[in-house]
Structure 1
Amino acid sequence: MNVLDKDNLQPYHNSEKYDYIQENYKADLPLILDYAQRIKPDHIIELACGTGRLTIPVAREGYDMTGVDLHQGMLDRAKEKAEAVGLQVDWIQQDCTKLSLQRSASLIFMTGNSFQHFLTNDMQDQLLLSVKQHLHADGYFIFNTRNPLLHDLADVDEYTGSYTDSSGRRVVEENREVYDPITQVQDCLQVRRTFDGETEVETEEISIRIRFTFPLELERMLKQHGYDVEEVYGGWDHEPLRKESIELVVVARRKKADEREA
C-alpha cells in the first residue's frame, strides 16, 4: 500500500509504556542540536515524534517546534508532557507521506529508525517528496535507519531481554526476527510477559515490520529526489560509516531550485 499501514503501529498503542521504555534514550539529541546551532533555523519539524522524546528538549533550547506523528495517542502524551514544563509546541497528527502543514522549515528530522516504517519503494519516494515540499531551499533533512548487516540478517534471530516496569514488575521480552532478502523487510514478533513476583500476570504479543535500505541505495534515492547527501555517519556521535556500523545517520540537504545536475 502507498500510505503507512496503521496495523504496523502496534508497539505504539500504549503511549505511557512506550514513554517509560524510551524516554531516557538521548544519544541522538546532541547531533540534532549541533546541526540546529549551525543552521539557526526559524522553524524545526520532527517527524514520527512519538511522545516528544526529542521534540521537547529541542524546544526547551528555544527553537520553534512542530511535532508530527500518525498516532494520536502518542501526540496526546507529548502535549501533556510539553504543557507540564510550560512549552508551546504544535502537535499535528498526519501521515508523513502526505504532509500538509501550514509551515515549512529549515530543519526536519526523524529519528528512532522511523524511516524503516516505510516498507516499499513507493512509500519511501512519497516520504522524501513530502519532506522536500516542506523544506526551505537549502534546508536539511536528518534521519537514521539500521544498517543492513547481512551476516546478522541471514538467519532467524531469537533473543530475550528483561527490564523492570514503572510498577516495579519484571517484564521479559522474547523476540523473533525473520528477514526477507527479496523485499528487504524484516518481520519482528515480540512476546512480552509481565511477572508479579514469580506469577505471570500479563502476556502481550507485539508484531512490527521494518524495511532495510542499503547505503548506496539511500544515496541514489535522495539524489533522485533533489537532495544532496552531505554526510552519512555510522552513529549519532559523528563517527564515520564503517562496514560494521549498526546504523546509518543521514544528513541530506535540499538542492536549491535553480541548481541543475552536472
Structure 2
Amino acid sequence: MKETIKFDKVADIYDFYVNVDFDIPFFLKETEGFGKEILELMCGTGRVSIPLLKSGRKMTCVDYSKGMLNSFNKKINNEGYSVDLVEMDVTNLKLNKKFELIILPFHSLSEILTTEKQQEALKCISDHLETGGTFILTLQNPKNRLKQADGKMRVIGKFSVDKDKEMVLSYTNHYNEKENIVSGYQFYEIYNSENIMTEKRYLEINFKPIRLGSLREMISKTDMEITTIYGDYSYGKFDIQESDFMICKLTKK
C-alpha cells in the first residue's frame, strides 16, 4: 500500500500535538487480565501501546512509518517492555503467527484510500486472528465527521515544543462525495520565544470514511463477524445520527 499519509515528515513532532488519551481507559479495560500477546495495527508512536505496555501487556505493534516506529522505540528504549515493533503494511500483513486479540485504534483504517485495499487489510487481519478471537476496530461516524470537511481553515491549537518554542497547528479539508475521499492539509508553524516563526511544515491528509453498511459488506467477505458496536469509548449505544464513533468488536468464526 502506498503511504497515504507521509507521517515520516512529522514523526519528530507528532507527540507534541497528538497527546489525547480519551480512548486509553477503554483499551486498558478491554485488555485487562489478558496475558497473551496483543497485536496492535497502525500503532504510530505508541500513544495507545505504551500505556498498555506500562500496565504489563505483551504486544506486537505494526506501522508502515519507519519514523513513527523510531519515535516509539526511543520512548521505550531500555524500559524492558515485552514488545515487538514491526515495520509493515496492514494490507499485506505477514507475521506468521496468530493472535487472540487484535486492536486497531484511532480510526486509522480509513487512511486506506480504496475499498479494495480496506478489504485486503480486513482479510489480513482475519487471517491473523485465532478462531474465537476478538478484533477491536475503531472508526469515526461519517455522519458527524464529514460536517468538518467543508474547506474552511481551522486552528487545532497551540502546543509547546520545548521550553522556548511553540507550535501552532491548523488544518483544512474537504469532502469529494463522488470518490468518497476527504483530502486536505495540516500546517505546522513553530515560533521561538520572541514570537518569530522559525519553521513551517505541511502534511497532506487523505482518508476514506467508512459507513456502517460498507463495513458490514467488507466484513462479510472475511471469517469475522461484528458482535457489538458502541457509539463512544464509554460503551454508549451506537446511534448512526448522533454518535461520533463506531467502536466495533468482531469475533473470528
Q: Provide the TM-score with structure 1 as the length reference.
A: 0.87
> Which residue in the other structure is 1:138 paired with?
132
Map 1:1-262; keep pairs closer than 5 Å: 3=1, 5-6=2-3, 8-22=4-18, 24-37=19-32, 40=34, 42-149=36-143, 152=147, 155-167=150-162, 168-196=164-192, 197-242=194-239, 243-255=241-253
Comparing 168-177 and 116-125, the one that deviates more = 168-177
User: Does the 8 Å contact 1:41/1:105 carry over to 2?
Assistant: no
- Taking the aligned partners of 2:86 and 2:149, their CA distance within structure 1 comes to 39
2: CA distance, partners of 1:164 / 1:61: 28
**Structure 1 segments unaligned to the other structure (5+ residues):** 256-262
Cα deviation 1:28-51 (Å, max 9, x = unaligned): 22222222237x352210001111
How far is 1:153 from its partner? 5.6
Q: Give the letter for the 1:105 counterpart.
A: F
Distance 1:252 1:93 in 2: 25
Identity, % of aligned positions? 24
Distance, in Å, in 1 between the alignment partners of 2:43 and 2:103 is: 9
Whole-angstrom distance in 1 between the partners of 2:7 and 2:236: 30
Does the Cα contact within 8 Å between 1:11 and 1:208 map onto a contact in 2?
no
Q: What is the CA-CA distance between 1:201 and the residue it aligns to? A: 1.8
In 2, distance between residues paired with 1:164 and 1:34? 29
Tell me if the contact between 2:39 and 2:60 (Cα under 8 Å) persists in the aligned partners: yes
For the residue of structure 1 that corresponds to 2:31, the secondary structure is helix
Counterparts in 2 of 1:174 and 1:26: CA distance versus 1, 3 Å: closer
Q: Is the 8 A contact 2:7 2:68 kept in 1?
A: no
CA contact (8 A) 1:15 1:77 kept: yes
Is the CA contact 1:47–1:96 (under 8 Å) kept in the aligned structure 2?
yes
TM-score (norm 2): 0.90
Query: Given that residues 17 and 159 in structure 2 are in contact (C-alpha distance below 8 angstroms), is that contact kept between their aligned partners in structure 1?
Result: no
CA contact (8 A) 2:158 2:167 kept: yes
Superposition deviation, residue 80 in structure 1: 2.4
Aligned residues: 249
Whole-Å Cα distance in 2 between the matches of residues 42 and 170 of structure 1? 41
Give every structure 1 segment of 4 or more consecutive aligned residues whose post-TM-superposition deviation is greater than 4 Å.
none
**Mean alpha-carbon deviation: is it higher for 219-228 or for 209-218?**
219-228
